Structure 1
Amino acid sequence: MGILINHSVENTVALVVGDTPLAQSRYERLKSLGASPLLVSVADFEIKSILELGRQEVDNIVDSVYVATGEKDLNLARDIAAYCKKHRVPVNVADHPELCSFTLLSTYSEGDFQLGITTGGKGCRLANRIKRHVTKSLPPNVGEICKRVGELRYQIQAEDKVDISVGQHDDDADQAADFNKLVLESQAESIEEKKKQRIRWLSQIVEYYPFSKLATLDPSELSREYGRTQSVTDTEEESVRRGRISLVGSGPGSEDLLTKAALKEINTADIILADKLVPSQVLELIPRRTPVHIAKKFPGNAERAQEELLELGLEALEQGKHVVRLKQGDPYIFGRGAEEFIFFRDHGFTPTVIAGITSALAAPLYACISATHRNVADQLLVCTGTGRGGTLPDLPEWVASRTTVFLMSLHRIEQVVEALIKEKHWNENVPCAVVERASCPDQRIIRTRLKHVAEAIKANGSRPPGLLVTGFACDVITPYPQTDSEQKWLVSEGI
């Protein structure tokens, strides 16, 4: 097993040895990538040339060697591989991964996007088939998406001079634990403060937006959002009220968990106003003809983004359109559903409300947690870790026979845990689970104890949306690390 890297060969000298069509192909490919390849036949090859034909600035040692000689010259290939490894020259021998210091991947490229598949040399063209299968699911404009996101990133960093954690923009970076860190509305009042948050907003829209919209991102749109401070104004002119609005729950994540009623509303909408956290697989079900607006709820802008959605919804309703307000989970479980219902009703449009499966119930199930269990848990409580204006709410007292699900709490988990243990006298050894992206293919579960959960999240990073499940019901089906174990948490990926 090795580290997969994207190695630039531009202006390097690569020695290709062999008389086969593959040797010619390797030569042409290296040349197209900006290298200066040398193609040498088996008859003309001298092993000392490895140390003589390279660039002068690296003492004439070639930068890499590609051997494509075939089985009849296997002994020569072995000698070349041994010589290269002795002199620390990267070497690839076709069909013999055991002789290689690096192997070549089955690749797909579009613009700045590159995809590589390897089976460690054991695939018998399996890597190529896997590549074809994977590329079918890529968005058609993936190269443009990479270009656009990169342009926005560089523009934001140049304009706002934002300091970021080392490596957070590298391709191998996981989400940092502070990716979804709480930002109070009061902390983001000035334009200068809002500018500092643009890089975080870009990271979040890259994470949440469907691919079809990433290629159309516009930096001027971001700038406008930071300059807007007006609250919603009343409509002065009375319009004919012909539109209708639906508050639709989209469930916890998987498109398979949408109700028929929700799908019917989606398919008949004239415009859809979606939460940021509605997963892409649900958004992809929206007909292409239907305009979609996704909430710009970047850190510190939640209230303004909510106001914008209400404005857009009201404007569309007054034009006689069918508006679908697509919400994650269930509209009435910590989703501002009642607030929106009252707003639109007060403006003359009484919404239809379509129930959705809340993650508070679905996530425990997908994490193999029976929220209630005889002689273990006879109560289930759903609460939030974030009150109005970002405050810490009055958290529940400790009840041993209760399973408690905390929504909107992982971004301030240290505060929540401290309050539970010190103020509410919770058992610090109670088992708990962090369930992220419940029911989605990239679901992740971190199983631990309450006293270790903040440390576990910091160590493993953030993959929102997520929630915290606590209670002794957590380890009825799936075992957890023992309280005296050196292993503080267990992580499982996928469904």
Structure 2
Amino acid sequence: MTLYPLFADLTGLPVLVVGGGAVAERKIESLLATGAQVRIGAKELCATLREWVSQGRIEHIGESFQPAWLDDAWLVIAATDDTELNTCIAALAYERRIFANVVDDATLSRFQVPAVVDRAPLTVAISTAGAAPALARRVREMLESLLDHAWGSLIALAQRHRSRITARWPDTAGRRAFYDWLHDGPVMSLLRTAQPAKAERAMLNALNSPAAPSRKGLVLLVGAGPGNPELLTLRALRALNQADVILYDQLVGAGVLALARRDAERIDVGKRCGGRHTQQEHIHRLMLDHARAGRCVVRLKGGDPFVFGRGGEEMAFLRRHGIAYEIVPGITAALACAAYAGIPLTHRDHARSVHLLTGHGKDSLDAMDWPALAQGRQTLAVYMSVSRLDELTHRLLAHGRHPDTPFAIVENGTMAQQRVLHGVLHKLPESARQHAIQSPALLIIGEVTAMASEHAWFGERMQRAEDATEHAALELCEHG
């Protein structure tokens, strides 16, 4: 270790910054957040710095550098583009035993300004000793994804009650176990769900209890998105790293599971057409048993838990049995597949509404309002439709949807093997059979799908037998 890590309290202390450009602005913004009294010396100031001076937030002490500027400074930052001046400032600061930083010059600097992850009062600082600041930034990006903002609230809560915690558990082992419980138990979960008063009550109840708090189970209903691990949300990623047990569906790919905590137990509870089928009641029982055993259970679903994912049923089951739960939304297939095929689901000229439908289940098609769905200038996004294309097409045409309405089927949407089939409605079943479309695939029907012929940007776009098909689709899109 070449640098001694140090967190400095600059509250009320004078700090000198020499330079008036964008770099100086960034340094001063961070210094102001610490409560430092910032003085700036520069001939010209950028607009933001001029505004801060006029507001009295910083003091402009002069235009040309004077050694006297260093007289009572605790720190100095040289942020000019004049190498000779920066060298002079660093040398004078060294003589006066003042720590100086010369921006982008580690050899002249006596302290480095690290990349920071701010979860106040938690602060994580990353330094490469000035060798590669850009790589420190990449490390910061990784830590940002792992540390959610509830960390700050948790540490602030523990700080407020630190004396009580110490009195309740004077031994180090007991205190360490309590802090583990704060993070792993209901307190952190309540803070994540914006319930700080309940979180504090839970902690105070544990402090007042004669017995050590025991870990209670938690179920996270997590949307894994459309399959591409890059589209996983930050909260979903954190949940995967929090999980003791993961109950995952068929559509959750290996790439997403690879991001999970390495020692988490993984249980496949997928439902497969014509294959092994996990009953929903068994999934309920697994969630209940593992949660009652004090484990963190992630119920991992493709897409979003509340869009054709039975997340509502599972949420109601957990509430009936008194199990704490959290909902983590995911990017649903309609949004993801359309975007990756270059199709806007809504468009001011072509579609002012979107209908999310499912072809799954024997009664699903019978329950739909076909006269309404057959109207033009709206988009239909149909999940689990591959086996019902003939009937779906027949009903739309029978109720008046134009035969040349464009469609797109997005197979394995967002994945490297994505394929997109385009055509017109009256040829939909025939085209799908010709190109051997397989699940998982999302069907999109509506004038907006014709736009993909120009705006497709990802994956393979299938060729069609007749060029006239595309022409008819575009004509319908342009003329309604």
Instruction: State the TM-score, normalized to the length of structure 2.
Output: 0.48
Taking CA–CA contacts closer than 8 Å with sequence separation of 6 or more, which of the two structures ends up with the larger relative contact order? 1
Which has the larger share of helix? Answer: 2
